[in-house]
Structure formats: structure tokens, C-alpha cells
Structure 1
Amino acid sequence: MANTPYPESYYAASANAAPARPALQDDVETDVCVIGAGYTGLSSALFLLENGFKVTVLEAAKVGFGASGRNGGQIVNSYSRDIDVIERSVGPKQAQLLGQMAFEGGRIIRERVAKYNIQCDLKDGGVFAAITDKQMGHLESQKRLWERFGHTQLELLDQRRIREVVACDQYVGGMLDMSGGHIHPLNLALGEAAAVESLGGTIYEQSPAVRIERSANPVVHTPQGKVRAKFIIVAGNAYIGNLVPELAAKSMPCGTQVITTEPLGDELAKRLLPQDYCVEDCNYLLDYYRLSADKRLIFGGGVVYGARDPANIEAIIRPKMLKAFPQLKDVKIDYAWTGNFLLTLSRLPQVGRLGDNIYYSQGCSGHGVTYTHLAGKVLAEALRGQAERFDAFADLPHYPFPGGQLLRTPFAALGAWYYGLRDKLGV
């Protein structure tokens, strides 16, 4: 049987020790079969186990193999479309409930890290950096919006203040969110997997779900075994393939690229990011960066629609890094990799149920670190019969990409070109 290793990323190279988990080779029964051992699946499994469910997790490769172990490692609140956009789409009542949940994912991460003693280099503080006055005006509005929903750990940064937190001269200002922050994402996933197992959950690696047999007690088939369950949670996101055809038309896998420098040393690292906050700019096609625990700069950006791997990731991302930090022109890049995320047309997550017993959450649209942890809690609530918060997400309208799967990639790329042009023109 094929064995899929982690990609050659900085995160895989610096991951905490983890046990080798076997592939499923038997027929097993469980209360809930979770497909995917990324954040959505692990968060769901933890909440379910804490509430007395028997849980089996199937992972096609290794824990955190997908976006959960490859992302920029930034804890960013809200959704890929903010609460005001949601409010215009669905009205104030549903938006109020979604707004109340918009800042919960980061709290869940911190609770998990504390409760299960997860070693993942958690640091507080995230900065949204404005390149134009228009973007700064948007941050001022965003601060008022978030404070309307009770989120008050925010500080607007003028040009002088943002220079104090990031040594980059292209920003006119920004906003600091002290409930944001950053983590080693793969180590967070590995710690959550260990927590799942400490509560009696079972995780099988190298065990892709190849078919779901839908019935009153559905069965998930893998190449060498099967799991019969009362409920299934589909949590594969961009790595689920065509396992559930109904979900494929309204989403598209996309790739984002990340590079990691050689260690910069304490002095240079302190000059670049004195408070060790993470940063993302306010462009539609945004760049994001932070320091690792060993003082490397982790810098990401760019989107490849259709989730193919670029031939030369460093050639795409290094110029972006040097635009922000020209002082790094002689610094060596030690790692470069691609991670896939799942994009929806609305850029809001898709949550729902197929029949009576197959639940899913997908389509974080590049905003998944916090949302996936919230999703696990919401899915677990729904399986316990508390569906109000689940329904708030499930009732969000979603539409297929124009032209279906054949045209979704060029359509999205055209949209990205348009917004990328707007970023360059500052309009």
C-alpha cells in the first residue's frame, strides 16, 4: 500500500515527535467516523469524545498532511468574508449569530493548547497592515464592526506605530488584534491528535476513504477496511477529491505558496518584527508573514487556482518578501512548499448535512485556522441535537462556479487578476 509522507516543509522538518499510526485493515464499528485528520476533523473528534461519543478518524496520509500542517500559522479572527457582508446577504438575525461565533475559534485553540499541554509555539498578536489610505479606512470600519460584536482587543496603528511593530516602509498604518497570533500549525495538529487518542479516539493514517455507503448506518470504505458508523463527518476540505460529488461543484481547490528563510539570528529577527507579531497585508491577494520559534521568517502569498504545484515557488514568493524586507536580499531560503485550501464562490464556509447522518464542513477560503476549530464544535453540537449554530452556517447561500468544474479555474483566475490589478492601482 502506498505511503504518503509529509511534504518537504519547514513544519515537517521541525515537527514534534509523533507515533506511527497504522492503516485501517479491519472492519470496525463506531459512533462517528471522521474523514480527515486536519483541524476540522480533529476539532470535531475532540468535542465529540469530550461528550461521550466513540470516534474513529480516517486520514488518507498523515495527521495534518493538508492545509492544517502547511498554512501560514496565523490565528486570524472572523471569516474570509466579514460580518457586514454576511449581514447584507442573510439579514441581521442570522448575521448576529454568526458574528457572535466569529471570534470563538481563536479561543478554542488557546483552550486546547492549555488543556492538553500542546507545544506549538503559540504567540499572541496579529497585525493587519494597510498599504493605502483606502485600506486604512477599511480597517477603521472593521474595528467598529468587530467591536459591535464584542471584540475589543483591537488597536489602530498610525504610520509611526506600525513602524514600531514591523520594519517595513510600505505601510501607512494598520490594526493590531491581540487575540490574534501565530502557532506552529503542524505541531498544533499533532498535539490535537494526541489529545484525541488520550480520550480513547482512534486515528488511522494512510487510510483514504474511497467510498461512502449511504444507509441508516453508513459505511466508509478504505482500500483495506471499512468503518460502520451512526454518523459521518466529512472533513477533507481541499483534499477530499470526488468522494462526495454533491460538494465538488460549489468549491475549488487552490494552492498558496510559503517560503522559510534560514535562521536570521536574534538581532535581525528583532529588528524586523520587534514584538514577534504575525502580519498580513490588506490586499485581496495578500501576503502574510511571521517569525518561527528559531527566528526564521515564514513568508507566504500568491494563489494558484486549481491547486497545481508551481515549478519554482521561491521565484514566486521571494520577490514579495524582498518588496517588504529588502534588507533580506542576501538571506538564503531553506524551505518552499505549496498547501491547498478550498475556495467557495461566496468565500464563506459550506456546512450541511446529507441525509440524516452525513455532516460536512468545508470551504474556509483561506481563512481556516480559527474557523475549523469552531466548525468542530458546531458539528459536535449538531450531532448532540443542538443545531441552532449549525443551522446558521448551513443556511448560508452557496452557488456553483459559473460554467461548472470545467470553467471554475479560469473564472476564478480572471477574478483574481481583476482584484490583483485593483491592489496594484490602489483602488
Structure 2
Amino acid sequence: MAHTDYPLSYYAATATPAPQRPRLFGEVETDVCVVGAGYTGLSSALFLLESGFRVVLLEAAKVGFGASGRNGGQIVNSYSRDIDVIERNLPTEQARLVGDMAFEGGRILRALVARYNIPCDLKDGGVFAAFTSRQMAHLQAQKKLWERYGHDQLEPLDERDIRAVVGSQRYVGGMLDRSGGHIHPLNLALGEAAAVEALGGAIYEQSPAVRIEYGAEPLVHTPAGRVRAKFVILAGNAYLNDLVPELAAKSMPCGTQVIATEPLDETLAASLLPQDYCVEDCNYLLDYYRLSAERRLIYGGGVIYGARDPQDIIAIIRPKMLRTFPQLRQVKIDYAWSGNFLLTLSRLPQVGRIGDNVYYSQGCSGHGVTYTHLAGKLLAEALRGQAERFDAFAALPHYPFPGGRLLRVPFTALGAWYYNLRDQLGV
């Protein structure tokens, strides 16, 4: 049987040592079978185990193999579409419920790190950086919007202020979210997995779910075994493939690319990000960056629709980095990797049930570090019979991409090209 290891990334190279987890052979029985050992699956497993459920996780490769172990490591609040979009498209009561949860994921993440003593280089503070006065106006509106939902952690940055937190001449201002922050994402996943096992949960790696038999006690099949459960949670996101075709029709895997420099000397690192905050800009196709614990600059950006792996990641991302920090022209790039996230047409999460006992949450649309931890809590609530908050997300409308699978990539790329052009023109 094939063995799938982590891609060569900075995160994999500096991961916390983890045990060799077994493949599934034969049949096991449990209360909940979770498909996917990323943040959604791991956090739902933790909440369920804390509530007394028996839980088995199936992972096609290794814990955190997908977006959970490859992302930019940034803790960013709200959703890929902000609360104002939700307010315009949902009934008032449902919009209020979804809006009230927009800042909960980051709190859940921090609580799990503290409760289970997870070493993941957690740092506080995230910056939204604006290129234009139009983007600054949007940030000011966002501040008022978030404050209506009780989030009072935003601090405006004028042109002088942002120079004190980002050593770049590109920005006219920004907004500091003191409840934002950054982490070593793979180590967070590995720490959550260790907590799952400490609570009695079982994790099987190299054990992809290949078929589900639905019914009163669903059976989830792997190549060499199967899990009989009372409930199933589908948490594979962009790596669920075609296990459930009706979910795949309303979502699209997309690739993003990240690089990590060699370790920077203390003076140079401090000149780039003096407060050690993470940063993302305000463009539609945004760039994001931060310093690692070793003072490497981790810089990511760009989207490849349809999740193809580019031949030369450094050639794509290094010019972006140098536009922001030209002082890094002589700095060596030690790591370059890509990873997939799952996009929905609305850019809002796709949540729901199949029958009475198969639950799913997917489609974070590039905004998953915080939302996935919220999703884990909501999934656990729903299985305990407290589904009001889960149902608020489940009622979000979702539609297939125009043109079906054949045309969804070119249509989506065309839309992204339009918004990217608007960013470049400053309109």
C-alpha cells in the first residue's frame, strides 16, 4: 500500500515529533467516525471526546497533511465573506447568529492551545495593510461592522503607524487586530492530535475513506478496513476528493503557494516586522506574511484555480516578497510549497447533513484557521442535539459553479482576474 508523507515545507521540517500512527485493518466500531485529521476533524473530535463520545479519525495521509499543515499560519477573524455580506443575504435572526460566531474560532483555538499545552509558537497581533485610501475606507467600515458584533480589538493605523509595524513603503495605512495572531500550523494540528489520543480517541493514518454505506449505522470503508459508527463527520475539505459527489459539485479545490527564507539576523528581522505581527494586505488576491520562531520570513500569496501544483513556486512568490521588502534581495529561500484550500461560489462555508447521521463542514475559502475550530465545536453541538448554531450555517445557500466542472476553473479565474485588475487600478 502506498505511503503518503508530508510535502517538503518549513512546517514539516520543524514539526513536533509524532508517533507513527497505524493504518486501519479490519473493522472497528465507534460512536463517531471523523473523515479527515485536519483542524475541522481534530477540533470536532476533541469536543466530542470531552463530551463522552467514542471517536475514530481516518486520515488519508498524515495528521495535518492538507491545508491545516501548510497554510500561512495566520489567525484571522470573521469569514472569507464578511458579516455585511451575510446580513444582506440572510434573514435577520440567522445573520445575527452567524455574525455572533465570527470571532469565536480564534478564542477556541487559543483555549485548546492553553488547555492541552500545545507548543505551536503562538503570537498575538495581526495587521490588515491597505494600499489605497479606498482600502482604508473599507477597513474603517469593517471596524464599525465588527464593533456592532462586540469585537473591540481593532486599532486604526495611519501611514506613520503602519511604518512602525511593517518595514515597507507600500502601504498608506492599515488596521491592527489585537486578537489576531500567528502559529506554526502543523504543530497546532499535531498537538491537537496528541490531545485526541490522550482523551482516548483513535487516529488511523494512511487510511483514506473510499466509500460510505449510509444507513442507521453508517459504514466508512478504507482500502483495508471499515468503521461502523452511529455518526459520520466529513472533514476532508479540499482533500475529500469525490467521496461525496454532491458536495464536490458545489466546491472547487484551489492552490496557494508559500515560501520561507533562510533565518534572518535579529536586526533585519526586526526591521521588517518590529512588533512580530502577521500581515495580510487588502487586495482581492492578497499577499500574507509573518516571521517564524526562527526569524524566517514566511510569505505567501496567489491562487491557482483547480489546485494544480506550479512548476516553480519561488518564481511566483519571491517577486511578490521583493516588492514588499526589496531589502531581502540577497536573502536565500530555503523552502517553497503549495497546498489546497476549498472554495465555494459564495466564499462562505458549506455545512449540513446527509440523512440523519452524516454531517459535514467544508469550503472555508481561504479563511480556515479560525473557522475550522468553530466548525468543530458546532459539529459537536449538533451531535449532542444542540443544533441551532450549526443550522444557522447549514441554511446558507450554496450553488454549483457556472458551467459545471468543465468550466468552473476558467470562469472563476476570469472573475479573479477582474478583481485583481481593480486592485491594480485602485478602483
Matched, 1:245 2:245: yes
> 1:361 offset after TM fit, Å?
0.2
- Determine the structure 2 residue equivalent to 1:39: 39
- Determine the structure 2 residue equivalent to 1:10: 10
Q: 2:255 & 2:87 partners in 1: Cα distance?
A: 29
- Determine the structure 2 residue equivalent to 1:420: 420
- Determine the structure 1 residue equivalent to 2:114: 114
TM-score (norm 1): 1.00
- Determine the structure 2 residue equivalent to 1:255: 255
- Determine the structure 2 residue equivalent to 1:188: 188
Q: 2:389 & 2:96 partners in 1: Cα distance?
A: 11
Deviations 1:299-327 (A, max 9, x none): 00000000010000000000000000000
> 1:218 offset after TM fit, Å?
0.3
SS in structure 1 of the partner of residue 17 of structure 2? coil
- Determine the structure 2 residue equivalent to 1:317: 317
Q: 1:37 & 1:285 partners in 2: Cα distance?
A: 28
Q: 1:382 & 1:91 partners in 2: Cα distance?
A: 21
Q: What amino acid maps onto 2:139 in structure 1?
A: L
Q: 1:195 & 1:137 partners in 2: Cα distance?
A: 43
Q: What is the CA RMSD across the aligned residues, in angstroms?
A: 0.4
Q: 2:332 & 2:52 partners in 1: Cα distance?
A: 50
- Determine the structure 2 residue equivalent to 1:24: 24
Q: How does 1:207-218 map to 2 (within 5 A)?
A: 207-218=207-218
Q: 1:142 & 1:348 partners in 2: Cα distance?
A: 17
TM-score (norm 2): 1.00
> 1:215 offset after TM fit, Å?
1.0
- Determine the structure 1 residue equivalent to 2:52: 52
Deviations 1:324-355 (A, max 9, x none): 00000010000000010000000000000000
Q: 1:25 & 1:398 partners in 2: Cα distance?
A: 37
Q: What amino acid maps onto 1:50 in structure 2?
A: E
> 1:266 offset after TM fit, Å?
1.0
Q: What amino acid maps onto 1:303 in structure 2?
A: V
Aligned length, in residue pairs: 427
Q: 1:49 & 1:266 partners in 2: Cα distance?
A: 43
Q: 1:233 & 1:342 partners in 2: Cα distance?
A: 17
Deviations 1:92-146 (A, max 9, x none): 2111111110000000110011000000000000000000100000000000000
Q: How does 1:164-203 map to 2 (within 5 A)?
A: 164-203=164-203
Q: 1:175 & 1:161 partners in 2: Cα distance?
A: 10
Matched, 1:70 2:80: no
Q: 1:273 & 1:403 partners in 2: Cα distance?
A: 44
SS in structure 2 of the partner of residue 176 of structure 1? strand
Q: 1:24 & 1:158 partners in 2: Cα distance?
A: 55
SS in structure 2 of the partner of residue 203 of structure 1? strand
Matched, 1:300 2:300: yes
Q: What amino acid maps onto 1:227 in structure 2?
A: V
Q: 2:355 & 2:95 partners in 1: Cα distance?
A: 26
Q: 2:144 & 2:283 partners in 1: Cα distance?
A: 20
Q: Structure 2 unaligned segments of length 5 or more: list them.
A: none
Q: 1:226 & 1:82 partners in 2: Cα distance?
A: 40
Q: What amino acid maps onto 2:219 in structure 1?
A: V
- Determine the structure 2 residue equivalent to 1:286: 286
Q: What amino acid maps onto 1:295 in structure 2?
A: R
SS in structure 1 of the partner of residue 348 of structure 2? coil
Q: 2:423 & 2:162 partners in 1: Cα distance?
A: 20
- Determine the structure 2 residue equivalent to 1:265: 265
Deviations 1:22-79 (A, max 9, x none): 0001200000000000000001000000000000000000000000000000000000
Deviations 1:235-258 (A, max 9, x none): 000000000011011100000000
> 1:176 offset after TM fit, Å?
0.3
Q: What amino acid maps onto 2:174 in structure 1?
A: G
Q: 1:6 & 1:248 partners in 2: Cα distance?
A: 24
SS in structure 2 of the partner of residue 165 of structure 1? coil
Q: What amino acid maps onto 1:40 in structure 2?
A: T
Deviations 1:206-254 (A, max 9, x none): 0000000111100000000000000000000000000001101110000
Q: 1:56 & 1:26 partners in 2: Cα distance?
A: 14
Q: 1:314 & 1:418 partners in 2: Cα distance?
A: 25
Q: 1:249 & 1:223 partners in 2: Cα distance?
A: 24
Q: What amino acid maps onto 1:340 in structure 2?
A: N
SS in structure 2 of the partner of residue 364 of structure 1? coil
SS in structure 2 of the partner of residue 376 of structure 1? helix
- Determine the structure 1 residue equivalent to 2:102: 102
Q: What amino acid maps onto 2:172 in structure 1?
A: V
Q: What amino acid maps onto 2:259 in structure 1?
A: I
Q: 1:294 & 1:267 partners in 2: Cα distance?
A: 13
Q: What amino acid maps onto 2:327 in structure 1?
A: Q
- Determine the structure 2 residue equivalent to 1:368: 368
Q: What amino acid maps onto 1:404 in structure 2?
A: G
- Determine the structure 2 residue equivalent to 1:82: 82
Q: What amino acid maps onto 1:193 in structure 2?
A: A
> 1:374 offset after TM fit, Å?
0.1
SS in structure 1 of the partner of residue 164 of structure 2? helix
Q: 2:153 & 2:51 partners in 1: Cα distance?
A: 31
Q: What amino acid maps onto 1:248 in structure 2?
A: A
Q: 1:389 & 1:407 partners in 2: Cα distance?
A: 34
Q: 2:342 & 2:258 partners in 1: Cα distance?
A: 17
Q: 1:109 & 1:270 partners in 2: Cα distance?
A: 27
Q: What amino acid maps onto 2:403 in structure 1?
A: G
Q: What amino acid maps onto 1:287 in structure 2?
A: D
Matched, 1:141 2:129: no
SS in structure 1 of the partner of residue 338 of structure 2? strand
> 1:91 offset after TM fit, Å?
2.9
SS in structure 1 of the partner of residue 85 of structure 2? helix
SS in structure 1 of the partner of residue 31 of structure 2? strand
Q: What amino acid maps onto 1:58 in structure 2?
A: L
Q: 1:124 & 1:113 partners in 2: Cα distance?
A: 13
